[in-house]
A = this chain, B = another copy of it.
Amino acid sequence: MPLEIERKFLVGSFEPPATAVRQHIEQGYIAIKDDGTEVRLRRIGGGRVLGVKRGKGEGPAVRVEVERELGEEEFTELWPATAGARLAKDRYTFDAAGVTVHLDVYQGGLAGLRTAEVEFDSTAEAEGFTPPDWFGTEITGVTAYKNQTLATRGLPGE
């Protein structure tokens, strides 16, 4: 069962290494529930994914995640259901500080925001992680910086 255990940080000016893999991501939310459950459509690289995440109540950083590939027509037909809850970003993936980092550079109305996300295999590993210098404020579990919040309300304080 895929569990998602991650920590997330703001990032200032940082250039991803030349070896980073860059993927363009467009995602929209079909549903966002009060308990944190979300149903998401994501276009990433050449793929299209339907995903459902549910908070497990064991902490903000642990969630159950189920994902399935969609066909182009399926994706296109469902996409209108995400109106008003979308965002776009470029994701740079690379190894740093002994872990794999996803550096997300947001676009459109969220331009200027950059975050770094690190996924772990266990909560112990997550807690033992020492962020590198170029990681800024930790925003793990901070509602205002959840992608579902950014997609519907924009940048915090705007």
Contacts and interface: CB of A to CB of B under 8 A. Distances in A.
Q: Mostly helix, strand, loop or mixed at chain A's interface?
A: mixed
Interface in A68-86: 68, 70, 73-74, 77-78, 80-81
A30 interface: yes
Interface stretch (A12-20, A32-40, A101-109, A113-121): A32-40
Interface residues of A, number: 21
B54 A81 contact: yes
A142 interface: no
Interface in A42-74: 50, 52, 54, 56, 64, 66, 68, 70, 73-74
A74 to B, nearest CB: 5
A151 B31 CA distance: 18
A39 B35 CA distance: 15
A135 to B, nearest CB: 30
Contacts of A68: 50, 68
Contacts of A39: 30-31, 39, 52
A2 to B, nearest CB: 8
A1 interface: yes
14 contacts: A1-B73, A30-B31, A30-B33, A31-B33, A35-B81, A39-B39, A39-B52, A50-B50, A52-B78, A54-B77, A54-B78, A54-B80, A66-B74, A66-B78
